[in-house]
Structure 1
């Protein structure tokens, strides 16, 4: 049915080409991307070292500091089964990130010094 409708609009070869391109785009591996700002922040916070190690993280983290400095709330992320919870503390936030595999990471986000500390215990293998 879809091929017949597309054939009317694009001709027989165009319909097959269009469908083939669509299937190929789903089958080809795609880089992981966070589509909203909250998920970008969570991914950047999970980066070992500084959350701005990668150029792609500079803008989301800069926006985070700006938002928190003006009394905004901490962003959330629900994509891929990720759960976030925040608790306001003296100089910032305590953030917990839970992933679908059951692991939980904790971070202290200090808005006064603009530092982020991973406070998750390290588990030895």
Structure 2
């Protein structure tokens, strides 16, 4: 089920297991990135998301200004109202180190807010669901 979509991201929520899937594409404009991030946060709070699958295989890169906005504005809004100790599975295209660097920055900042955060990188999305569902 598509829950949210714009020109750079598609978001799906599986409420039965508190799982949110994001698939990013291209080079998101600041407006697209920020609107999507806020929509994702609203969905995550509404459905008490504790498992995140973030597919960045088709993402070219994140804008550093948007990464700063995410850390300064999105993360402080995310802490209250979301389950603690979430699991985040990142699906990479191993050739795209620029997207990975941006994701690393966001994950380090997220870990500082929630030290119980569990994250793992994957090159193939097939194993992510099993890892996300494991205890």
Quick check: which one's strand share is greater?
2
TM-score w.r.t. the length of structure 2 is 0.30
* Higher relative contact order structure (alpha carbons within 8 Å, sequence separation ≥ 6): 2
Structure whose alpha-carbon radius of gyration is higher: 1
